[in-house]
Amino acid sequence: MTTRKLPLTLLLMIVIVSTVSFLPVQEARASTELFYDDGTSDQGIAGSPEIEKFLAVKFSLPSGCSSARLLSARFYKVAPDSDDTDVIVHILGSDEITELTTPFTYDIAVDNSWNEVDLLGKNIIVTGDFLVAIEYLIAWDPSLGYDLTSVAHRSYEGTPGLWAISPRGNYMIRAVIECNAPVGGVVVPTNKLEILTPYLALAGLVAAVSAVVVVKKRR
């Protein structure tokens, strides 16, 4: 029985396809900012909590998103009452009591602006409603932005298990999430195409050289 060798070009194409099949495929995901304020602070919190009291906003996942990773939390701070603006950040589950990560200290320092704390490294997964809350270490400070133009009934004050819904407006606390359900299906990342391009060029070059060799042999 005669054994036929595969052409070099065909062998190279097999290697390329095999290599590409093992390259990672990325899911197309998008971050979503959850908020209930209108983006404009009408005033600072009137009657900010006493020491160890909380301000919080309750968030719900958007339709079609059964679970999500919490990427960051945002707090709008108005002009300071003092120089000490440290608070303790709490992320609470749907029962409004259970801590989803270990509480940590954060300095809400930038005036008249959003202050954003990165939560990506804490790997917080939410599967329903959740609360982003700040616990005050000094009474009256920092002064959190307060939207008075609408009432979403999602702003809380008090302590876990003893919450009261603010009837006056919306505390300017926001959450940024990444839904775990794919958005837009599966896409091929640019870096995979960049890796594939030189292989295809090489395959084309080998094919051209092989064709020249075949022509010369026929002569």
Q: What is the pLDDT of residues 180-198, one digit of tens each?
A: 965 444 333 334 445 445 5
pLDDT, greater one: 134 or 28: 134
CA distances from 143 to 59, 111, 150 (A): 21, 9, 19
Dist. CA 93–CA 124, nearest whole Å: 10
pLDDT higher than 50, residue 166: yes
Number of neighbouring beta carbons within 10 Å of residue 61: 20
64 φ/ψ sector (left φ>0, alpha ψ -120 to 50, else beta): left
**What pLDDT does residue 160 have?**
95
% residues pLDDT > 70 (the chain): 65
Going 87 to 43 to 174 to 94, the CA torsion angle's sign is positive
Burial class (CB within 10 angstroms; exposed 0-12, middle 13-18, buried 19+) of 130: buried
* Stronger pLDDT, 168 or 74, i.e. the higher one: 74
Residue 51: CB partners within 8 Å, gap ≥ 6? 136, 137, 138, 139
CA 169 – CA 155 distance, rounded (Å): 8
Span 65-92, pLDDT tens digits: 999 999 999 999 997 666 678 999 999 9
Q: Which residues pair with 161 in a beta bridge?
A: none
Q: What does the mean pLDDT of the chain come to?
A: 78
Return d(Cα 118, Cα 97) in angstroms, integer.
22
* pLDDT at residue 30, rounded to an integer: 86
For 25-69, how does the pLDDT look when each residue is reduced to its tens digit (9 = 90+)? 444 468 999 999 999 999 777 555 678 899 999 999 999 999 999
Q: pLDDT at position 183, please?
A: 46
Q: Return the DSSP state at 143.
A: -
- Where is average pLDDT lowest: 39-48, 89-98, 152-161? 39-48
Return the beta strands (E) in 78-141 as ranges.
Answer: 86-92, 104-107, 113-118, 124-126, 130-136
Check pLDDT > 90 for residue 106: yes
Query: What pLDDT is recorded for position 44?
Result: 78
